[in-house]
Amino acid sequence: MLGCGNRTWPDLARARQELALYPGFELMHGACPPRRDGTPGGDEALDRAGLAAGLVVGKTLHRRPADWKRHDKRAGSASCPAMAAEIAALLKAGVHVEGLALGSLVRSDEPNRASGTGHMVGLLRKFGVRVRWVPAPDAMAQALALRVYSARCGQERDPDDLDITRAHGGPRGAPFAPSWMILNPALEARRRATALRQSDPGQADTIEQEAWAAYVAAFMAEMRQSYRENRTAWRELLARGRVVLRCRCQDPARCHRVLLRERILPALGAVDIGELPVAERRQLTIPGA
C-alpha cells in the first residue's frame, strides 16, 4: 500500500484507524519529516501507525524520502515520478497495490495546483490503482462550504448569480438587501458630498466616510434581524456550493455585497473567494439600489 499525505497531519489516531483497514499490507511512503515544531505530516503519521502495527523498516515498511534540501516545498511532487516507477514495476510483477492519501489534494497556497499528495494520487489513478482519500477536517469543510463571489450587475452573467439589490432582488435576494431606510440617508450623503467635491474635497471625504460607517452599522444590524426572520432563505443560500452576489454599486469597497462576502457569510461557514473582474463599466453608484 502506498501512503501519502500533507505536511501537517496531527491526527495520529485517525492514521492508525485507516491503516487498520489494510491487514497484511506492506507500506511505502515518501518519509516527509515532521515540521520544526514537531507536528507530523501524513507520511510521519502513517510511519508511526505502521510501526505500531508491527511493520518492520526495510521489510514491510518502506521509506522513500524526498530531497527536501534540494527541492524545498516541491520535494513531494519532485519525488513522485521515482515512486510511481517503483509502483509500476510492482504492478507489472503482479503485486496488488492500493493507495491511501491523508489531507488536501491541492496546494493551500496555490488552489489550482496539485500538492505532492495530489500529484501522487493522480499518478496512481493513471495506473488504475484504487486510492482512498481521507480529507483533513478543515479540507472537508472547505470542500462542502459555500464559495462566495461578488460582482457588479451589468457584467457577464453567471449561472450562480444572486441579485441582492433592494429594487430587483425579489424573494430570493431581498433577505440580503439593505432597506430603503438605510439606503436613503446614504444617497443623501452622497449627493451632499458630490456637491462639495470641487469646493471642499476634505469635507466631502468626511461626509462619505461618516455615511459609510453609519451604513455599515445599520446594514449589519439589518442582516442580524434578517437571519432571525428569514432562516429558510439563509439556509438555502448556505446550502449552495457557489454563489455570485450581484449589486449595482460601482465601488465594491463601499457595497453591501462585499460586507456579505467578506464578513457575514464567512462567519456562517462560507468561503470568501473575492470580487469577479469588472467586464463592463456603468455609472451606477447608488449602494444597494
pLDDT, one tens digit per residue, over 83-140 is 888 888 999 999 999 989 887 654 444 434 446 677 778 888 888 888 888 877 665 4
Report the percent of the chain where pLDDT is more than 90: 28
- Residue 40's pLDDT band, with cuts at 50, 70 and 90, is confident
Are the beta carbons of 8 and 102 closer than 8 angstroms? no
Supply the range of the domain harboring residue 223. Answer: 145-275
Q: How many CB atoms lie within 10 A of CB 10?
A: 16
Q: Within this chain, do residues 43 and 26 fall inside the same structural domain, yes or no?
A: yes
Q: Within this chain, do residues 76 and 203 fall inside the same structural domain, yes or no?
A: no
Strands 147-152 and 130-134: unpaired
Q: Within this chain, do residues 136 and 220 fall inside the same structural domain, yes or no?
A: no
Q: Within this chain, do residues 136 and 249 fall inside the same structural domain, yes or no?
A: no
**What local confidence, expressed as pLDDT, does residue 92 receive?**
92
Q: Within this chain, do residues 162 and 249 fall inside the same structural domain, yes or no?
A: yes
Q: How many CB atoms lie within 10 A of CB 45?
A: 29
Q: Within this chain, do residues 136 and 152 fall inside the same structural domain, yes or no?
A: no
Is residue 283 domain-resident? Answer: no
Burial 11-35 (b: 16+ CB within 10 A, else e): beebbbebbeeeeebbbbbbbbebe
Q: What's at 155, amino acid-wise?
A: Q
Q: How far apart are CA 287 and CA 189, in angstroms?
A: 11
- In terms of Cα–Cα distance, which of 17, 18, 30 is closest to 65? 30
Q: If you average pLDDT over every residue of the chain, what do you get?
A: 82
Are the beta carbons of 79 and 115 closer than 8 angstroms? no
In angstroms, the Cα distances linking 104 to 85, 96, 111, 129 are 23, 25, 10, 19
Joined together, the cell numbers standing for residue 166 give 433592494
Q: Within this chain, do residues 52 and 100 fall inside the same structural domain, yes or no?
A: yes
What pTM value is reported for the model? 0.50
Are the beta carbons of 135 and 230 closer than 8 angstroms? no
In angstroms, the Cα distances linking 191 to 76, 123, 195, 251 are 58, 61, 6, 16
Contacts for 55 with CB less than 8 Å, ≥ 6 apart: 26, 27, 61
Q: Within this chain, do residues 120 and 221 fall inside the same structural domain, yes or no?
A: no
Q: Which of the two residues, 27 and 103, has the higher pLDDT score?
A: 27
Q: Which residues pair with 5 in a beta bridge?
A: 102
User: In CATH, what number is assigned to the domain containing residue 26?
Assistant: 3.40.1010
**What local confidence, expressed as pLDDT, does residue 71 receive?**
62
Q: How far apart are CA 107 and CA 116, in angstroms?
A: 8
Q: Strand, helix or coil at 172?
A: helix
- Residue 158's pLDDT band, with cuts at 50, 70 and 90, is confident
The count of structural domains within the chain is 2
Q: Within this chain, do residues 114 and 161 fall inside the same structural domain, yes or no?
A: no
**What local confidence, expressed as pLDDT, does residue 243 receive?**
93
pLDDT at 234 over 90: yes
